[in-house]
Homo-oligomer: A and B are copies of this chain.
Amino acid sequence: MKVTLIKYTPEPERAVAMSARLCYSAAGAEELAKTMSEAQVDKLIEKLFTMGHLSTFEHVSFTFAIEGVSRVLTHQLVRHRIASYSQQSQRYVAEHGFEYIMPPSVANKPEAKVKYEALMRQIQQTYDELVALDVHQEDARYVLGNATETKIVVTMNARSLLHFFEKRCCLRAQWEIRNLANAMLTAVQAVAPRLFAKAGPTCVTGGYCTEGDLSCGRVNRDKPL
């Protein structure tokens, strides 16, 4: 998996803080942007986060190029609707010589690994044969596995990212999208540490768990009644 933060709104923390200040001030936005100190930005973002006033976090967006992930992952990913996606198309891009993702639980079991690899070769062969029989690649791809590697560009604003990290950094998320979420979190924390200082699953950010019987048990406390 390769996750690259390719674009983001410049000075994201200042942009959020300035937008928030505007709501409670008679001064204009530009004036506010110029005169806020780093310490003021810091303090204001912490307050916004604590009070759950996250609409101001929407003013900054982050765009990621993601490669080396399966279509299992992207089918889960694109369910997050407050986001924008551009995905490599299996209708227009031929999959002769496709790469594939192998779950660690398979890779770590030699017997499983052998069967998995053999099936991937078989899938490749059948795909190639179907195309050779003049089946268009958009139909031939019906035989491709969920494991097939894909590429996708994703843009989310900071508020949507916080929600994404809450759901997908959780140990109950599947390993692949959790790995993606963690990589995205690391990338945004590098450029906007204050915005994402407390990002993550509710056990980390709130000390409680909503997963019920399926909880990983990291915290014992349910969401407070």
Kindly state whether residue A189 has any CB partner on chain B within 8 Å. Answer: no
Among B63, B106, B225, point to the contact of A206 (Cβ < 8 A). Answer: B225
A39 to nearest B CB, angstroms?
Answer: 19
Size range of the chain A interface in the assembly: 35 or more
- Number of this chain's copies in the complex: 4
Residues in B with CB closer than 8 Å to A138 are 174
| B-contact 0/1 string along A1-36, CB 8 Å cutoff | 010101111110001001110111110111001000
Residues in B with CB closer than 8 Å to A15 are 6-7, 63
A24-B92, A212-B47 given; A33·B52 CB < 8 A: no
A151 to nearest B CB, angstroms?
Answer: 6
Kindly state whether residue A43 has any CB partner on chain B within 8 Å. Answer: no
Q: Residues of A with Cβ closer than 8 Å to B?
A: 2, 4, 6-11, 15, 18-20, 22-26, 28-30, 33, 47, 50-52, 55-56, 58-61, 63, 65, 67, 70-72, 74-75, 78-79, 81-82, 84-94, 100-103, 105-106, 109, 111-112, 115-116, 118-120, 122-123, 126, 129-130, 133-136, 138-139, 141-147, 151-153, 155, 157, 174, 206-208, 210-212, 221, 223-225
Residues in B with CB closer than 8 Å to A225 are 206-207
Does the CB pair A139–B103 fall under 8 Å? yes
Residues in B with CB closer than 8 Å to A50 are 210, 212, 223
Does the CB pair B101–A142 fall under 8 Å? yes
